[in-house]
A and B are shown apart, each in its own frame.
Chain A
Amino acid sequence: MNDRSRELKPFVPAPDDDMIICRCEEITKGEIRKAVHDGMFTLTEIRRYLRTGMGLCQGQTCTKLVKGIVARELGVKPSELGSATGRAPMRPIEMKILANDGGGKK
């Protein structure tokens, strides 16, 4: 059970809040911290709300960084936060190639 109304420490702006964490989607540290205070308590919720890790690299660069920021804001260990889901196709693939799976001949 995860109570979303539990008190967090107040949000205090930090000098490095405008540092870009997710390079593909250009999401800053401050945006991630604010999202936690707006109730986004899991990595999946942060992704869905901000698009972190949803870009071309699919979070290969930023996932660990985002996890650290969210954990600190919530006052938990990073290992207590689950991971976000990987999705097919694991590498970006052109429509014309994906379409060429041998179907559509009828």
Chain B
Amino acid sequence: MNADVIIVGGGIIGCAAAYNLAKDGVSVIVLEGSANIGNGGSVRNGGGVRQSGRDPRELPLIMYAIKNIWPNLSDLLDTNVEYHQQGNLRLGHSEKNKQILEGLTERAVKCDLDVRMITGDEAREINPYLSDAVTCASWCPTDGHANPLTATMGYYKAARRLGAHFISDEKIVELRKIKGRVCQAVSASGNIYEGSKIILAAGYESRYIASTVGVDIPMQPVLLETLVTEAVSPMFWQMLGTADADFYGHQTDHGSFVFGLNCGLEPYAKPGKPVSSSIASSAACRGIMRYFPSLEDIKVIRCWAGWMDSCADHVPVISPVEEAKGLILACGFSGHGFGISPAVGLVLSQMAQDKETVLDMHELRYDRFRP
């Protein structure tokens, strides 16, 4: 099968690229290896759409997405992506926490982001459910959150309506060059898909697939875990995080709370299918209750886990490859690819059409790893 552009991986990055290409009238085939569109991190993440705490190299992407795309995304995709822009509170309880938050704040202010340090009392004015344990916080009023499930499926739905061709259960095992250009993707079942550009957006699996044309990106799979509670009446709309990074989360439109967990054992998770450990959710509940005592009676109803593609320097590779012309890499999102995905989809579609990208992407090139 042929198309102008072949996309390997049907996560939110692949779907957003497909949407932007199809909108420009470019023919595109998206190949998803699993049975379900968006089966990786895209439907397992915590929904944070945050600028605060981000690496300055990644910041332009998230600032662009928040300014220009997220506010209209529900209309664009004809799907409620439940975007809320009510700020992010990153909470601290100690002098050491305060130093961490001040460091992050200073770095972000240098990049013209509106983020500032506030006291525990100021934080409690913003969110009256916070306990007295909170002694300081950083506050970024333009951060927010969205629903990763409807955003991912929404990009898929909208791209499909515009004519993008999606095929699931079609695992790509090899890329092939013809006359020096990467233009074929070969599936495990032996089908060959050909296009003048190939966007590789298969999460961590991109590493193996890129290696078939001699390209390597230093990344590792790291487990991340999440839980969701029963629905309760609306309490607050801010996104939350902590200086200790032991949990982050928000309340959804639906009324449930989604909390991302981090107990420290994640890099040692069992390989294979991502499974929740139970240890992590218990630890996170202790962290959450310390800052939000009134949530102690709320019921946890589901826990799940997902792999992130953790890159050596914790920012993604979004880049055409000079030595493998035709190949465009979009991987290594390092656990924060959801918030930037609308901007990444746009930039990838511009790269695939040899257009100038709306943002300068040189910091996220594939050949930056030279210690």
Interface residues of A (CB under 8 A from B): 1-5, 38-42, 44-45, 48-49, 51, 54-56, 58, 82, 87-89, 92-96, 98-101, 103-104
Q: How far is the CA of A98 from the CA of B20 in the complex (A)?
A: 43
Contact of B233 with A by CB under 8 A: no
Q: With a CB–CB cut-off of 8 A, which chain B residues contact A49? A: 149-150, 153, 157
| Range for the number of chain B residues in contact with chain A | 35 or more
CB distance from B161 to the nearest CB of A (A): 8
A104's partner among B156, B165, B189, B283 (CB-CB below 8 A) is B283
Residues of B that sit less than 8 Å from A by CB: 35-39, 43, 149-150, 152-153, 156-157, 160-161, 165-170, 187, 189, 191, 229-230, 254, 276, 278-279, 281-283, 285-286, 288-289, 295-304
Give chain A's interface secondary structure class: loop
Most buried by B among A51, A94, A99: A99
Contact pick for A44, options B35, B160, B276, B302, CB 8 Å: B35
**In whole angstroms, how far apart are the Cα atoms of A52 and B283 in the complex?**
29
C-alpha spacing A38/B77, complex, angstroms: 12
- Assuming the A-B contacts A1-B189, A49-B153, A103-B283, are A56 and B296 also in contact, with contact meaning beta carbons closer than 8 angstroms in the complex? no
Minimum Cβ distance to chain B for residue A72 (Å): 20
Q: Contacts of A95 on B, CB cut-off 8 Å?
A: 229, 285, 288-289, 295-300
CA A39 – CA B300 in complex, angstroms? 30
Given A1-B169, A56-B301, A95-B289, list of 9 further CB < 8 A pairs? A1-B168, A5-B160, A41-B168, A48-B150, A93-B299, A94-B296, A100-B282, A101-B278, A104-B286
Asked whether A89 and B303 contact (CB < 8 A) given A40-B153, A48-B38, A48-B149, the answer is yes
Q: How far is the CB of B160 from chain A (nearest CB, A)?
A: 5
Residue on A with the closest CB to B165? A5
Given A39-B160, A88-B276, A92-B230, A4:B167 Cβ within 8 A: yes
Residues of A within 8 A of B187 (CB): 1
A selection of 13 A-B contacts at a CB cut-off of 8 Å is: A1-B168, A2-B35, A4-B166, A40-B153, A42-B168, A44-B35, A45-B38, A51-B254, A55-B301, A82-B35, A87-B276, A92-B299, A99-B289
B282 neighbours in A (Cβ, 8 Å): 98-101, 103
- Decide yes or no: A94 and B167 within 8 Å by CB, A49-B153, A104-B286 being known contacts: no
Say which residue of B149, B189, B285, B302 sits within 8 Å of A87 (CB atoms). Answer: B302
Instruction: Quote the shortest CB–CB distance from A105 to chain B (angstroms).
Output: 10
Q: Are B35 and A98 in contact (CB under 8 A)?
A: no
- CB of B300 within 8 A of CB of A3, answer no
Q: Which residue of A lies closest to B275 (CB)?
A: A88
